[in-house]
Amino acid sequence: MKLSAAHFNRYRQIALMLWKYGRSDLAQQMSTEEGFGVDKPPSADGQPLTVGASQALPEHLADDLEAMGPTYVKLGQVLAGRPDLMPAPYLKALARLQDKVKPFAYTEVEAIVMAELGVRISKAFSRFDIEPVFAASLGQVHRAALRDGRPVVVKVQRPNIRHQIAEDFEVLEEIAGFLDGHTALGRRHRFLSTLQEFRLTIQQELNYEREAHNLIALGKNLKEFKLIQVPQPVPDYYSRSVLTMEEVQGRKITALGPMTLLDLKGAPLAEELFKAYLQQVLVDGLFHADPHPGNVFITDEGHIALIDLGMVGHTGPAMQENLLKIMLAISEGNGEAAAEIAIRMSERLEGFTAPEFRRRITQMVSLRRDQGLEQLNVGRSLLEVNSVAHENALIVPSELVLIGKTMLQLDEIGRVLDPTFDPNASIRRNVAALMAQRMRKDLTQGSIYSSLLEIKEFATGLPSRLNRIMDTVTNSELVVKVTATDAKMAMDAMHKIANRITMGIVLAGMIVGASLMMRVPSSFQLFGYPGLAILFFIAAATGGFWLVISIFVSDYKSRKKYTH
């Protein structure tokens, strides 16, 4: 592992973080283990970390990640949406990092807006709140109003964040590369590949122009869903580091009180939200990949608003079909089918054992099914499929993990809106409509013309191809080539069959010959019968006994050879 002296301080901070939380309840729930008397390690700003390793608390993990900078804050946000990885207290503590990070100064906001939009805030907006509404890992959000009075929100990226994130990933990629090259855990989990995907995701989130285009595309795709709103960007008011969009008049779903939820018609909202996401994933191929509660609002009109489209996922037609199949299999409690689909869509590494993987997936799905299909969480099950796959040397597509996380967050939101909401029943209810939408999408004018051209090419070329085939047959030039995948095994079996048949014929001939010789008088007798005939009978019986024994022994050895 090549270490850079310039990154020494970051190596130290990461090592101290791992030392601290590697011995806490976060690692195998070992909070009762006594520490080793190590002094409290310093944080990124040089101040002591909040507590010692044996006293590490969930709130301190969020504080320490925030102290290490935006890359680690983003990591904390990702972990906050993974209840399959983190204990519940840590999920609650890390949720703070989604929109309650320390903001940066308003003077820096003014400078960034001026540099990006080419105009002072006082000229572009009639009002611009100094205090941000939300502050997260990559930027913060301010309320404002355009010159015509329209209320908007302005998302401003943190200063110098790209350079800091690039340096952080240099360090993390060095560590991940070392683990992949020198540990079995790294070779199996491919930390470097996962980290590179995470880096690409953050790079896309840092481009606010891309997020504006995502808002436009998602708004267009979901225009048929009357209960779902996607705020649109304001033209000419966004750039790579500044994004101005319509203000959503409402509150985060987690900020709603019990009485408000009682008055809210939650069941149709949950159904429409889930159906919209199924369409995004399985039909449109573009989906909002971060629907944590902080990104889902309930508007004053009682509708759902989806905000923050920096993180989106993409699915192609082949992936959509596999995802639909595996989601249906899991929602119906069919573990065998889910395992087979997962194997087909994944990359197999050396050491992969299909029977063990099938057994584990079937066991996992059956256990959930026995608890009741309404308790079978599709998102959590997809993430567990990924975990079992890694343990069995199988690399599932990253889209499956992203969709599992998304579905898991959706399930949480759905149950807030309607405690009786059943995502599995929603999948089964909407599958027919989704299939019809997929077929209509595939039957575009271009695809129809393409199919017609292929039919025309086939029809025009068919006569000449048939003539060539008939001429070849007539001239005795037809050659059939067969490639056997298990040729040696097949030849061994044929040799054994031929040898046994030959041996049987010889033994049968000996018995027939001995029977005929019994009628020929002879001075040489055994047991009062012609001696030569009796010798042939004994030889035939011995040969028959040996043939039966050899068949059993040979078959046993063959089974042992080809099953290992």
Helices (H) and strands (E) counted in the chain, each on its own, are 21, 16
User: What average pLDDT does range 469-476 have in this prediction?
Assistant: 80
75 neighbors 46 (Cβ within 8 angstroms): no
- pLDDT tens column, 256-315: 877 777 788 888 999 999 899 989 988 888 999 888 877 889 998 989 999 888 888 888
Measured in whole angstroms, the distance separating CA 278 from the mean position of its chain's CA atoms is 16
Better pLDDT: 154 or 465: 154
Residue with tokens 């019986």: 541
Count how many residues are written for the chain.
564
**Residue 374 has what pLDDT?**
57
**DSSP state letters, 475-496:** TT--------TTHHHHHHHHHH
Percent of the chain whose pLDDT exceeds 70: 86
Residues 6 or more apart whose Cβ sits within 8 Å of residue 330: 338, 365, 376, 378, 381, 382, 424
Mapping DSSP to helix (H, G, I), strand (E, B) and coil, where does residue 73 land?
A: helix
Whether residue 371 has pLDDT greater than 70: no
Do 292 and 352 lie in a common domain?
no
Spatial distance between the Cα atoms of 138 and 240, rounded to a whole number of angstroms? 12
**Residue 520 has what pLDDT?**
75
C-alpha pair distances (Å), 347 with each of 181, 196, 344: 19, 18, 8
Do 122 and 240 lie in a common domain?
yes
- pLDDT tens column, 23-52: 555 555 433 333 333 344 444 444 444 444
Do 170 and 297 lie in a common domain?
no
Whether residue 459 has pLDDT greater than 90: no
**Which has the closest alpha carbon to 343: 289, 218, 335, 279?**
335
Beta-bridge partner residues of 305: 229, 297
Is the residue at 466 inside a domain?
A: no
Structural domain that includes position 137 = 106-159+207-306
Do 120 and 168 lie in a common domain?
no
Mapping DSSP to helix (H, G, I), strand (E, B) and coil, where does residue 23 land?
A: coil
**Which has the closest alpha carbon to 23: 64, 54, 59?**
54
Is the residue at 371 inside a domain?
A: yes
Do 237 and 183 lie in a common domain?
no
Whether residue 484 has pLDDT greater than 70: no
List, in sequence order, the alpha helices (H) in 398-422: 398-417
Spatial distance between the Cα atoms of 271 and 428, rounded to a whole number of angstroms? 12
Long-range contacts of 386-390 (CB under 8 A, 24+ apart): 387/84, 388/357, 388/360, 388/361, 388/364, 389/342, 389/346, 389/357, 390/188, 390/189
Exposed, middle or buried: residue 84 (CB in 10 Å: 0-12, 13-18, 19+)? middle
Is the residue at 74 inside a domain?
A: yes
Do 371 and 294 lie in a common domain?
no
Kindly give the pairing relationship between strand 250-252 and strand 242-246: unpaired
H/E element holding 250?
A: strand 250-252
Do 110 and 190 lie in a common domain?
no
Is the residue at 405 inside a domain?
A: yes
**Residue 49 has what pLDDT?**
44
- Angle of CA points 324, 328, 329, to nearest 5°: 120
CATH number at residue 117: 1.10.510.10
Kindly give the pairing relationship between strand 228-229 and strand 304-306: parallel
Do 190 and 174 lie in a common domain?
yes
Spatial distance between the Cα atoms of 140 and 158, rounded to a whole number of angstroms? 7
Do 87 and 19 lie in a common domain?
yes
Is the residue at 56 inside a domain?
A: yes
**Which has the closest alpha carbon to 284: 210, 202, 222?**
222
Better pLDDT: 212 or 518: 212
User: What average pLDDT does range 419-437 have in this prediction?
Assistant: 80
Spatial distance between the Cα atoms of 330 and 179, rounded to a whole number of angstroms? 33
Is the residue at 58 inside a domain?
A: yes
Q: What is the pTM of this model?
A: 0.70
Is the residue at 149 inside a domain?
A: yes
Do 150 and 176 lie in a common domain?
no
Of 413, 442, 471, the last residue of a domain is 442
407 neighbors 383 (Cβ within 8 angstroms): no
How many domains is the chain built from? 5
Do 11 and 45 lie in a common domain?
yes
Sign of the Cα torsion 253, 255, 261, 264 reads negative
Of 46, 69, 98, the last residue of a domain is 98
Of 45, 64, 98, the last residue of a domain is 98
- pLDDT tens column, 74-112: 888 888 877 767 777 888 888 888 778 889 999 999 999
Mean pLDDT of the chain: 81
Range of lowest pLDDT (104-113, 244-253, 308-317, 548-557)? 548-557
408 neighbors 377 (Cβ within 8 angstroms): yes
Sign of the Cα torsion 219, 224, 225, 228 reads positive
Do 385 and 410 lie in a common domain?
yes
20 neighbors 36 (Cβ within 8 angstroms): no
DSSP E strands, 117-247 = 125-128, 134-135, 139-146, 151-157, 228-229, 233-238, 242-246
**Residue 470 has what pLDDT?**
82
Spatial distance between the Cα atoms of 322 and 341, rounded to a whole number of angstroms? 7
Alpha-carbon dihedral angle through residues 7, 9, 12, 18, given to the nearest 10 degrees: -80
Is the residue at 448 inside a domain?
A: no
Kindly give the pairing relationship between strand 228-229 and strand 250-252: unpaired
- pLDDT tens column, 171-188: 888 888 888 888 877 777
Spatial distance between the Cα atoms of 81 and 78, rounded to a whole number of angstroms? 5
